[in-house]
Amino acid sequence: MVTEQRMVAEERDRLALAFDLDDLVAAVRLARRVRRWFGVAKVGLELFGAAGPEAVAALGAEGYRVFLDLKLHDIPTTVGRAARVIGGLGAQYTTVHTAGGEAMVRAAVQGMAEGAASAGVTSPCVLGVTVLTSDVDAPPEMLRDRAALAAAAGCGGLVCAAGDLAVTRAAAPGLITVVPGIRPAGAGADDQARAAAPGTAISAGADILVVGRAVTAAEDPETVAAAVAAEVSSAAAAARG
């Protein structure tokens, strides 16, 4: 029973729901409805713009590991200063865009650690964003370079499309892989040029899957969430052999 409970918890922590909403009250209500299946709450630009740091605190209070996805990208000094603020908010994951270069990414990693230490919280795992899943093309050489850059700069993980995993995992072994653009069967791709089904992404080696509108815009989000979780569980079990 203990082993089964641990497995369920681990599978929940592999599923992140993107709360791309402009209303924190609505986000918390949805969070309560689907927390049986999702262990990570992704706060992006829309919700953070609407509610600010309160969004991190509110979803954390609901029992989620918070993924603050702001994709920092500016000169190293600016990114480092912003990262010190963000690092103290209590999120478990944050993002920086590797297109900014190694010095900038390193500034983000260092800033997050300093901010977390000052606030007395655990430093977030900094995820290096490689190529957006809305981009049609992701040249292998670019993926390799950006994944290696993230590792060299001290990132704990990468954000990439499911189809990029073979390249990025080889270039930066040991880093957590977070895959957005997850679409269950029957869901539209929307603006995701390189989407993937949940089971496909897990089989390719993804550690965390990010699901968004397929759940948040559904008439019955619980049913969609349960189907996604079942597919992940099945793929994870197959991968374990």
> Of these residues, 71, 81, 144, 213, which one is catalytic?
71
Residue 194 burial class via C-beta count within 10 angstroms: exposed 0-12, middle 13-18, buried 19 and up: buried
| DSSP assignment letter at 13 | T
71 is a catalytic site residue:
yes
Q: What is the pLDDT of residues 51-77, one digit of tens each?
A: 999 999 999 999 999 999 999 999 999
- The arrangement of secondary structure in 2-240, i.e. its CATH architecture, is Alpha-Beta Barrel (3.20)
pLDDT-based confidence at residue 183 (cuts at 50, 70, 90)? confident
Q: What is the mean pLDDT of the chain?
A: 92
Torsion 82-87-91-94 (CA) sign:
positive
The pLDDT value recorded for residue 192 is 59
Residue ranges per structural domain of the chain: 2-240
Q: Tokens at residue 196, please?
A: 């993937």
Q: What's the pTM value of the predicted model, to 2 decimals?
A: 0.93
Q: Tokens at residue 30, please?
A: 């949805």
Q: What is the pLDDT of residues 127-175, one digit of tens each?
A: 999 998 888 888 999 999 999 999 999 999 999 999 999 999 999 999 9
Q: What is the pLDDT of residues 16-64, one digit of tens each?
A: 999 999 999 999 999 999 999 999 999 999 999 999 999 999 999 999 9
